[in-house]
Amino acid sequence: NLTFQRYHRISDIYAYLEYLVSKFPSICSIETIGTTIQGREIKVLKISGSNAKFGFYIEGGIHAREWVSPASVAYIVRELVEYRSKNSFAENADYYVSPVANPDGYEFTHTNSRLWRKNRRDSTDKSCPGVDLNRNYGYQWGGLGASRQSCDETFAGENSFSEPETQAVRDFLTKIGPSVQAYVAFHSYGQYILYPYGYDKVLAPDSAVLQKLGARIARNIKKASKKKYKVGNSAILLYEASGGADDWAKGSVGIKYTYTIELRDAGRYGFLLPASQIEATGKDAFIAIKTITQEIAGIG
């Protein structure tokens, strides 16, 4: 069992997933979708709905230092599994939850360097390791806001999908296929609800739907916690950045309800969000998942 009073190592997070499978075997199962450069497993927890009409992919921890992301995703998992009886909306979907999309980087922020962002790929010159996994996806890869230089924080990699972590997600989503209707990636910080595209100031044909639903999420969060989240196109509201998981999910896989959500805070603590704010931030994240599920299921 996990406490939400502190941040956890990946072994604790994975042990929690295993515990849920042992305690709730009829709804929970784990798939290892890949292995990192340093040999760590990339795990996805499937939470099956009794009346599932669509799949919902939830990604956390692609950026190593954004600790409140895996913590909030674990909080969502607890709501969907352990508190399932009061969250019956969840029966409408099969959730595929990847709490730590960048295990090597996440562990490195615990053991070596708290503000590390990328994975731990050794670069050719060895001096600057790491690829920004959220610049390594294959939709408009290598464009604006992505670097070709390994020393940069936004290094896109030698090629699109050069990294085992992004390959794993690509292959898994390709396999589970068109049933998936929602993809949410949790990041920090800034309190933004962002929708594609991010590679340039380009809107998808259905962006008005995403803006409207994003505004509903923000309203529901504000009602519950008083916190304000800004809603908008990611390139316009934040900055252009190509090769993101969200753009690929939307543009290549065709997942309609694709968002990147930057969780708390608005800048005071930034990546170093105190653990005392995990619960409240997890609640924001859970409200987003609930609101999107209700919209797709038509029970909003």
What are the residue numbers of the active site?
262
Binding span for ligand 0X9 by CB under 6 A among 18-26, 105-113, 210-218, 236-244:
236-244
CB of 52 to ligand 0X9, least distance (A): 28
Report cis status (omega within 30 of 0) of the bond before 57: no
Instruction: Give the integer Cα–Cα distance in Å for 108 and 85.
Output: 37
For ligand 0X9, which is the closer residue by CB, 15 or 238? Answer: 238
Residue 124's alpha-carbon distances to 17, 107, 119, 130, 156, in angstroms, are: 36, 22, 15, 11, 14
Residue 42's alpha-carbon distances to 56, 61, 124, 196, 204, in angstroms, are: 18, 11, 24, 25, 30
Residue 272's alpha-carbon distances to 125, 229, 267, in angstroms, are: 31, 19, 10
Residue 118 touches Zn ion, criterion: CB under 5 A: no
Binding span for ligand 0X9 by CB under 6 A among 88-96, 172-180, 238-246, 250-258:
238-246
> Contacts with ligand 0X9 in 195-234 (CB under 6 A)?
198, 234
Q: Using an 8 Å Cβ cutoff, are 242 and 198 in contact?
A: yes
Convert residues 80-119 into a mask of x (bound to ligand 0X9 by CB under 6 A) and - (unbound).
----------------------------------------
Residues linked to residue 60 through DSSP beta bridges, in sequence order:
186
Instruction: Give the integer Cα–Cα distance in Å for 291 and 58.
Output: 14
Instruction: Give the integer Cα–Cα distance in Å for 75 and 48.
Output: 17
What Rg value do the Cα atoms of the chain yield, rounded?
A: 18
Convert residues 256-275 into a mask of x (bound to ligand 0X9 by CB under 6 A) and - (unbound).
----x-x-------------
Residue 187 touches Zn ion, criterion: CB under 5 A: yes
Residue 10's alpha-carbon distances to 65, 71, 86, 90, 94, in angstroms, are: 13, 10, 28, 25, 23
Binding test (CB under 6 A) with ligand 0X9, winner from 104, 163, 246, 265: 246
CB of 132 to ligand 0X9, least distance (A): 7
> Contacts with ligand 0X9 in 128-147 (CB under 6 A)?
134
Residue 135 touches Zn ion, criterion: CB under 5 A: no
Residue 187 touches ligand 0X9, criterion: CB under 6 A: yes
- List interacting residues with ligand 0X9 (CB under 6 A): 63, 66, 134, 187, 194, 198, 234, 238, 241, 244, 246-247, 260, 262
